[in-house]
Structure 1
Amino acid sequence: MKTLEKTMKSVTENPKYIFRLTVQGVMVGIFAGLMVCLYRFLLYGSEHVLRGYLTIIRGNVFYIVLFFIALVIMGILIDLLTKWEVDSSGSGIPQVYAEVKGHMEANWAKVLFSKIVAGVLTALGGLSLGPEGPSVQIGGMAGKGVAKLFKGSKTDELRLILVGSAVGITAAFNAPLAGVLFVLEEINHGFDKTLVFIALVSAIVSDFISKLIFGQSTALTFVVPNIPLEHYWLFVLLGVLIGLLGYVYNVGMIKSSDLVSNLRMPSWLKFVLVFMVSGVVALTIPEISDGGHFMMDMLDIAMPSLGVLVLLLVLKYLFSMFSFSSGAPGGIFLPILVLGAYIGAVFGSAVVPIFGFEQDIIYKFIVISMAGFFAATVRSPITGIVLIAEMCGSTESLVAMIIVSLIAYMVPTLLGNEPIYESLYDRLLLNKNREFVRETSKHVLSEYLVPLDCNYINFKVKDIPFPKNAIVVSVIRNGKYIIPTEDFHIKYGDQIHVLTDSNDYPYVREEIEELFGG
């Protein structure tokens, strides 16, 4: 009963609740921001160590042998870490998604330790994996740790996990708005005013910490000139191309992951082989090693020839697919942006001489293609557009990014392809080795927004087939809280609060999202 009262007070005593949650949001911003910045700092250091060592060992057989012995040890350590904490494998974003949906209950402290250590090892090994997916999980688990410290309700815990996830993107890219939008668009799949407010507070705090450590310069320093309006039709062509390549990327990533998971070999041997191949790649084609910072720097220093751009694009895609399919801790966020940049560079290098554009116009296509490829693969176009705008520190390419992103979003959608993170989430839940462990009964208050195309608009609450183990406790309409009766009519834009048991929450949420078309 006390747990129920605590959850209900989050609605009836809203001002006090918001203040308390804001304080916790500041704590999440500090703790999660520091954890993600530590992870980011260690990864940068690891990549520099790897590239420095590669310059030393060339032509020295003894050093090369030592390098491959170290890679074998790294592979074994990754295997041990992912067995010790299974939730630390892979990207991290599907795990956060599953946790928020109620299908997982991760140990936040173990995930933090394992994810950070394993991420450093994958960076030292040169695998083509990015830091941003793991940063989302690190931020989310830091948020969960703060929630455990304050011993709040399960509802508060889920909100702080989402807030921490926003910190992950913020601290990784110095992009607070993109961090909040990513959580709303990709993980929460809904608009929760309280969540937005607390996430913004936390994101600003973490962004300040990140800029204190890494500086205030934007992630991208490209000069982006304008393209003549009469040539805007090229963006339509680019959008279609990116959409098709996004479809190929998603299909390839899932197929390769399924193929590797079906191989009958010990997990330690799989990781050792992946690290050994990564070592060969680092020695022969070092440009495509690590998450992609080196490839981005190449574009900024001097634009390679068209043939080199195509070659690096194809090889980076294949190596990213190979690295991720192993299940090693690491993300695909940065590799997606790098591949998008190289698609734009290839497209720009092809059309610039044809139409007689200035050479710098290529950078326009690079920036736009990064947002477009993000929309084609992740299927979160708003996040992608805002993220690239924040990374560039400019909104000059906003209209062009919108055109390309919308078309790139539509093409794979029309082809029946699922967003990459949703596909990975589905595969995570289908893992036969994972079972949802029932925990001590707690109440979860979840919020659902009634969309314009909902089939139950103007229906009475009693006539809507809500799950039997769920109670509609309140509705926010035009900023006012309403305690609904059975005869209360649901309207478009209503924010409906539903109370359920934490053990029923995963299934209740799925049923209600299906009711409202979520």
Structure 2
Amino acid sequence: MDNSAEELEQPGSRNAQIRFVALAALAGILTGSVGSVFHLLIDWLQAWPRVLATHVDGVVLVAAAALITMCATLVSVYVVRRYAPEAGGSGVQEIEGAMQGLRTVRWQRVLPIKFLTGIVSIASGLVLGREGPTIHIGASFSAAITDFFKVSETERRGMLGAGAAAGLACAFNAPLAAILFIVEETHRQFPYTFRTYMGVIIAAVLATVMTQVIGGTAPDFSMAVASPELYLLPAFVVLGVLLGFLGVSLNAALMWTGSFAARLNGRVPYLYPAVVGLVVGGLFVTMPLAVTGGEHVVTSLAAHSASLQVLLALAVIRYVTMTASYSAGTPGGIFAPILALSMCVGLAFGGIVELVTPHGIPLAFGMAAMGGLFSASVRAPIVGVVLTLELTGAYTMVMPLIVTCMTANMVAEWIGGRPIYDQLLERTLRKAGIDPAAKGEDKTGLA
């Protein structure tokens, strides 16, 4: 812990602790309120293909949907590039960079642009999650609060973590996973003191309260499943191994498509997002399960059985549309798309297990895969376990989830995979011409 953090924790700092927790509470309330409106508007606007289908059909419907999504994508990309390039993508890497003192959260620009273009791009059908924007929005509210109220450097970094936790809690109605995300994912950047840790907790809780008041109290992916038999645990180990390889592959694909899109944009600036928008828009009306963030995909697949061929086809298509959508340059996260992709893979794996044993439960493998692929990609296995439990409400899955997530995380480590946000942050810093070894470690006291 750095000296400033030690000074802030002296016995006489009770009033300062109360003040900081109050600021974190404000960040949580603002994030939960605005984030809930953000989600509700996306859900409402994503009904546009059904409205369009009442006016046109056939080839005209497909062409019209493709053009609508293309236009939405291009508008979002233009606004982001023109006014706030850091608003593109998830935003988690921006917050981690800001906590290290390597990036600046320009909240005056990020808040309106992330909110508006995030709604446009995600509602258009692109395979992007809402959690990335809400995490960035939450941290931006924290940055705004620290600009208005005088705080120390340690408190500033702590407030960024509190806002990020509030954003994730709001996105998934999952406060415990949000708190653990800060503990596990940002352990190198977050300044651990009593007040900053309490700030994260209160921000996440109050953001969840606002989310439940505005949007309801049920877990986002409510599911019920019987506890799998103990003799099936080795099958979850095998699933974890598969997901470990898939997670490393997914991260590599995300980085490669991002580099490819950057090179193509250097030659023809808006060709890549235009093509992505056209393809995704066409799929939105012809194969809706292959696109969108994935929340409705998860619940639909969990409620209605699909054949092995359909599940594998969906997995391949969503793998491609996810990496392509994220590289387009619009705001959007990867958590929800990862959960949808993993549900396809897990259900397919469970269907194969069911052919071998009558006690195989495909849905149990689908739910375990949600945590496993998240763990392999983000490299936060505890968050993967808790997030899946909070989302589904299926606490009968504790043991299979732990086995799957730990296995996926270890396999990803052993084959040389790196956390996706570490890679995204490094790319962001390279583009900005920043050397973290020279500037970041000593400045933030993390050495």
Q: Same fold (TM over 0.5)?
A: yes
Contact 2:97 2:425 in 1 (8 A): yes
Tell me how far 1:271 sits from its aligned partner: 2.4
Which residue matches 1:120?
119
**1:366-416 CA-partner distances (Å, limit 9, x unpaired):** 111111111111000011111111112243211221111111001121111
Higher percent of residues as helix? 2
In structure 2, the residue corresponding to 1:219 is in which secondary structure?
A: coil
Query: Which aligned pairs between 1:75-94 and structure 2 lie closer than 5 A?
Result: 75-82=73-80, 83-94=82-93
Deviates more, 1:86-95 or 1:218-227: 218-227
Which residue matches 1:409?
409
- The 3 A distance-change label for structure 1 pair 23 and 319 is same
- The 3 A distance-change label for structure 1 pair 56 and 307 is farther
Cα distance in structure 1, aligned partners of 2:126 and 2:327: 11
Q: Tell whether 2:44 aligns with 1:45.
A: yes
- The 3 A distance-change label for structure 1 pair 310 and 65 is closer
Q: Tell whether 2:205 aligns with 1:204.
A: yes
Tell me how far 1:312 sits from its aligned partner: 0.6
Cα distance in structure 1, aligned partners of 2:5 and 2:397: 45
Query: Which aligned pairs between 1:98-497 and structure 2 lie closer than 5 A?
Result: 98-189=97-188, 191-263=192-264, 264-357=266-359, 361-431=361-431, 434=432
In structure 2, the residue corresponding to 1:120 is in which secondary structure?
A: helix
Amino acid at match of 2:406: L
- The 3 A distance-change label for structure 1 pair 315 and 139 is same
Higher-RCO chain (CA-CA 8 Å, sequence separation at least 6): 2
Contact 1:50 1:125 in 2 (8 A): no
Where structure 1 has 5 or more consecutive residues not aligned to the other structure, the ranges are: 438-466, 468-503, 514-518
Contact 1:32 1:142 in 2 (8 A): yes
Cα distance in structure 2, aligned partners of 1:153 and 1:512: 16
Task: Give 2:8's match in structure 1, choosing from 7, 10, 13.
Answer: 10
Higher percent of residues as strand? 1
Cα distance in structure 2, aligned partners of 1:315 and 1:116: 28
Deviates more, 1:115-124 or 1:380-389: 115-124
Tell me how far 1:309 sits from its aligned partner: 0.7
Amino acid at match of 1:120: I
Cα distance in structure 2, aligned partners of 1:406 and 1:64: 43
Cα distance in structure 2, aligned partners of 1:316 and 1:36: 25
Contact 2:343 2:367 in 1 (8 A): yes
Contact 2:228 2:397 in 1 (8 A): no
- The 3 A distance-change label for structure 1 pair 39 and 394 is same
Cα distance in structure 1, aligned partners of 2:159 and 2:151: 10
Cα distance in structure 2, aligned partners of 1:320 and 1:51: 22
Taking every aligned residue pair, what percent have the same amino acid on both sides?
27
Amino acid at match of 1:80: Y
Cα distance in structure 1, aligned partners of 2:296 and 2:9: 49
- The 3 A distance-change label for structure 1 pair 231 and 296 is closer
In structure 2, the residue corresponding to 1:267 is in which secondary structure?
A: coil
Which residue matches 1:508?
442
**How many correspondences in the alignment?**
439
- The 3 A distance-change label for structure 1 pair 509 and 386 is farther
Please, what is the CA RMSD of the aligned residues? 2.4
Cα distance in structure 2, aligned partners of 1:107 and 1:290: 28
Amino acid at match of 2:13: N
Deviates more, 1:160-169 or 1:384-393: 384-393
Tell me how far 1:511 sits from its aligned partner: 7.8
Deviates more, 1:189-198 or 1:331-340: 189-198
Contact 1:129 1:334 in 2 (8 A): yes
Tell me how far 1:187 sits from its aligned partner: 2.2
- The 3 A distance-change label for structure 1 pair 399 and 71 is closer
Which residue matches 2:72?
74
Cα distance in structure 1, aligned partners of 2:152 and 2:55: 54
Amino acid at match of 2:150: K
**1:427-475 CA-partner distances (Å, limit 9, x unpaired):** 11111xx2569xxxxxxxxxxxxxxxxxxxxxxxxxxxxx9xxxxxxxx
Deviates more, 1:96-105 or 1:270-279: 270-279
**1:98-154 CA-partner distances (Å, limit 9, x unpaired):** 111111112102101111111111123211111111111111111111111223233
Cα distance in structure 2, aligned partners of 1:64 and 1:284: 7
Contact 1:352 1:362 in 2 (8 A): yes
- The 3 A distance-change label for structure 1 pair 510 and 106 is closer
Larger radius of gyration: 1
Cα distance in structure 2, aligned partners of 1:215 and 1:425: 34
Deviates more, 1:395-404 or 1:84-93: 395-404
Cα distance in structure 1, aligned partners of 2:391 and 2:443: 34
Amino acid at match of 2:76: I
Amino acid at match of 2:75: L
Which residue matches 1:22?
21
Which residue matches 1:481?
none
Cα distance in structure 1, aligned partners of 2:331 and 2:425: 15
In structure 2, the residue corresponding to 1:344 is in which secondary structure?
A: helix
Contact 2:5 2:154 in 1 (8 A): yes
Cα distance in structure 2, aligned partners of 1:346 and 1:391: 21
Where structure 2 has 5 or more consecutive residues not aligned to the other structure, the ranges are: none
- The 3 A distance-change label for structure 1 pair 51 and 187 is farther
Tell me how far 1:73 sits from its aligned partner: 3.4
TM-score (norm 1): 0.80
Contact 2:24 2:202 in 1 (8 A): yes
**1:169-222 CA-partner distances (Å, limit 9, x unpaired):** 111111111111111211243644332211111111111110011111112222
Cα distance in structure 1, aligned partners of 2:167 and 2:49: 25
Contact 1:75 1:268 in 2 (8 A): no
Amino acid at match of 2:358: G
Contact 2:132 2:332 in 1 (8 A): yes
Contact 1:240 1:408 in 2 (8 A): yes
